[in-house]
Amino acid sequence: MIPGERIYLTPVEPDASETYRAWINDPEVHEWLVAGHIPITAARERAIIEGFGKDDSVFVFEIRLIEGDRPIGLCGLHGVEMPHRQAEIGILIGEKELWGQGLGRDAIVTGLRFGFETLGLHRIEISAFEGNDRALALYPSIGFQQSGRDRHRVFLRGHFWDAVVFDMLEDEFRERYGSNE
């Protein structure tokens, strides 16, 4: 269990894959995700979740709201590369009624803390597709710096969208968020 402020992170559970699948297959939730546009079957989702436990380059967590102790989304570090100490972080809040309350920010900061302090990462990347205005505003406000732009990175809803890439270095995290000690 990795504590945040109003949330905590805990490993994903294959037995909860139907909950995750319901989030990801929801058009409002997957609007700016790559997953879910091709509806995921139960077997496929379960295989993906089970696969996370077998791959040491991926750490995906369930985000749980401390109040009421219930799952509300997913947050994960993907593409963990050693010895370069890099990864990419991703997030989704599946419980839509909880959008706009700062829980995504809470989960990202908690995921960053896990990445920098537990995995010992040096640099963590996050990207948002052009058009995802909430993410494009949120990530800089967390302290990410824009590092680039991958043009026409994905094809969603009949259009190609640029990915705006942001990153944060370990020293920048510590300066802003301090140590957990």
Partner 1 sequence: MIPGELGLVYLTALDRDNAEQTREWLNDPAVARWFVDELVPNSKAKQLEMYDEADKGEKLFMLEIHATDDDRYLGIVGFETGDIRHRQAEFGIAIGPVDERGKGFGRDATLTCLRWGFDTLGLHCVWLGALDDNEHAIPLYRDIGFRELGRIREQVLVEGSFHDVVYFDMLEDEFRARYGSRG
- Which residue in 84, 134, 152, 157 binds partner 1 (CB under 8 A)? 157
From 133, 135, 129, 134, select the one nearest 163 (Cα to Cα): 129
CA-to-CA separations, 8 to 52, 77, 78, 83, in angstroms, rounded: 19, 15, 19, 28
Is the CB of 158 or the CB of 178 nearer to partner 1?
158
In 76-119, alpha helices (H):
103-113
Phi, psi of 172 (to 5 degrees): -65, -40
Considering only 6, 10, 14, 25, the residue that binds partner 1 (CB under 8 A) is 25
Q: In what order do the strands lie in the sheet with 145-156?
A: 2-3, 7-11, 59-65, 70-81, 86-93, 123-129, 159-169, 145-156
List 16, 38, 82, 137, residue binding partner 1 (CB under 8 A):
38
Q: Is 146 in the site for partner 1 (CB under 8 A)?
A: no
Judged by CB under 8 A, how many residues of this single chain contact partner 1? 17
Judged by CB under 8 A, the stretch of 93-101, 139-147, 156-164, 170-178 that binds partner 1 is 156-164
Task: Record the tokens describing residue 166, joined without a space.
Answer: 């942001």
Q: For residues 16 and 160, which CB has a smaller minimum distance to partner 1 in the complex?
A: 160
* Binding test (CB under 8 A) with partner 1, winner from 37, 78, 122, 153: 37
List of residues contacting partner 1 (CB under 8 A): 25-27, 37-44, 47, 155-159
